[in-house]
Amino acid sequence: MARSRIALLLVAAGTGNRFGAETPKQFLSIAGQPVIRHAAARLAPEVDLIQPVGDAEAIAAALVGLEHLPVVPGGATRQGSVLAGLEALVPYGPDVVLVHDAARPCIPPGTVAALLAALENAPGAIPGVPVADTLKRGGADGRILETVPRAGLFRAQTPQAFRFPLLLALHRASPPGVTDDAAVLEAAGHAVALVAGGEGNIKLTYREDLVRLERELLGAMLPRVGTGFDVHVLAEGRKLILCGVEVPHERGLAGHSDADVGIHALCDAIYGALAEGDIGRHFPPSQAEWKDADSARFLRHAAERIAARGGLLANADVTLICERPKITPHAPRMIARLAEILGVGEDRISVKATTTERLGFTGRMEGIAAQAVATVLVP
């Protein structure tokens, strides 16, 4: 098929009753990110448009930093939610639509390419995995009624791919009750191709699926380590801001922004782990916009860059280098502040201090330096 305009319909309107949690399963965190975000980040490079369907506030929070169309409210059923998403896509005129359950965060590489290739000869295509276990039909009394032959049976997965105009027309005319979009085409007599799915393409349905998915996600992520270093001179008339916390001291650090050496070093460590340059590349000191800026803005941006890459921060370690002030009494607040800005648990953040035994500019108390190390996991 020639290069088509491809839309992703991300269905996230379910309440997850079978999972049994207050938070819908697609918004639960696995490997440091919401399930829906993992799904969107995996598929974003394969599509031109992302149309989420579900709770607008929850989805917007989960997908911050990822480009998508305005969220469409879901319907009373999955079928109704898909139709609502298809209708919202009409003005954008996609040729192909991928319909994907937001509760499936692990899409095997090559799945979308195989689906698009299958659309050359069929109006729809889905990934499936052959049923390997013996199937039994049970009765209400808990006894086996019969053994069901498994030959030719497949477990259907998503994303499912369709030619957009046909799927829209069939959904508009379809009676309620279908459980997946391939069934809409099947009922109308259209062919649906089957491509190889993957055992790792797990749908989060029950609590035990959380462990399987976390293993799958973390196993597919590459650890990358970045380092950062920063130094600023101490000056009169400035507040001393270190790792996002104001520390009482007779002098503060001078710089274009608030000169928070701890955050600046940590930003450089994160950008380095992502191979995205340094803080000066993203926030040039030549721009007046950043004069006296709160360095928390810089660190939030670094966190957003991790999220945009579908990654997570495994840990960060900041060392402040100075004779005075004493850092230890303020370290817990610094840890809490950095964790808050980065959106991670405090157990992933370390802040400590050392001196240079009165050697050099920090030993002479002319300035404060910081070094940082960050480990980022990315797909």
Is the same domain home to 270 and 205?
no
Question: Among all chains, which residue has been given the structure tokens 């990654």?
Answer: 311
Q: pLDDT at position 231, please?
A: 96
Total structural domains in the chain?
2
Q: pLDDT at position 16, please?
A: 55
CA-based angle 104:126:91, to the nearest 5?
80
Q: pLDDT at position 17, please?
A: 55
Indicate which CATH number applies to the domain containing 40.
3.90.550.10
Helix (H, G, I), strand (E, B) or coil at 317: strand
Q: Are 43 and 98 in contact (CB under 8 A)?
A: yes
Does some domain include residue 187? yes
pTM: 0.67
Least confident of 20-34, 38-52, 223-237: 20-34
Is the same domain home to 68 and 144?
yes
When pLDDT is averaged across residues 63-73 and rounded to a whole number, the result is 93
Is the same domain home to 252 and 197?
no
Q: Which residues contact 12 (CB under 8 A, 6 or more apart)?
A: 24, 26, 27, 36, 52, 53, 54, 55, 59, 74, 102, 103
When pLDDT is averaged across residues 220-235 and rounded to a whole number, the result is 92
Position 217 pLDDT exceeds 50: yes
Q: Are 213 and 204 in contact (CB under 8 A)?
A: yes
Is the same domain home to 354 and 236?
yes
Q: How many residues in total does the chain contain?
A: 379
Range of the domain at 162: 6-219
Is the same domain home to 193 and 59?
yes
Does some domain include residue 117? yes
Give residue-wise pLDDT tens across range 260-302. Answer: 999 999 999 999 999 999 998 988 877 777 777 899 999 999 9
Indicate which CATH number applies to the domain containing 236.
3.30.1330.50
Q: Which helix (H) or strand (E) segment is 168 a member of?
A: helix 164-173
Is the same domain home to 156 and 93?
yes
When pLDDT is averaged across residues 365-379 and rounded to a whole number, the result is 94
Does some domain include residue 50? yes
Does some domain include residue 1? no
Last residue of a domain, one of 204, 219, 234: 219
Is the same domain home to 126 and 19?
yes
Last residue of a domain, one of 161, 186, 219: 219
Query: Which of 41-45, 158-162, 196-200 ranks highest by mean pLDDT?
Result: 158-162
Give residue-wise pLDDT tens across range 228-254. Answer: 999 999 999 999 999 999 999 999 999
CA atoms of 340 and 89, how far apart (whole Å): 36
Phi, psi of 10 (to 5 degrees): -100, 105
Is the same domain home to 277 and 212?
no
Is the same domain home to 104 and 164?
yes
Cα dihedral: 180, 182, 187, 188 (round 10): 130
Is the same domain home to 210 and 254?
no
Q: What is the mean pLDDT of the chain?
A: 91
Last residue of a domain, one of 219, 253, 281: 219
Is the same domain home to 198 and 235?
no
Is the same domain home to 213 and 270?
no
Does some domain include residue 353? yes
Position 181 pLDDT exceeds 60: yes
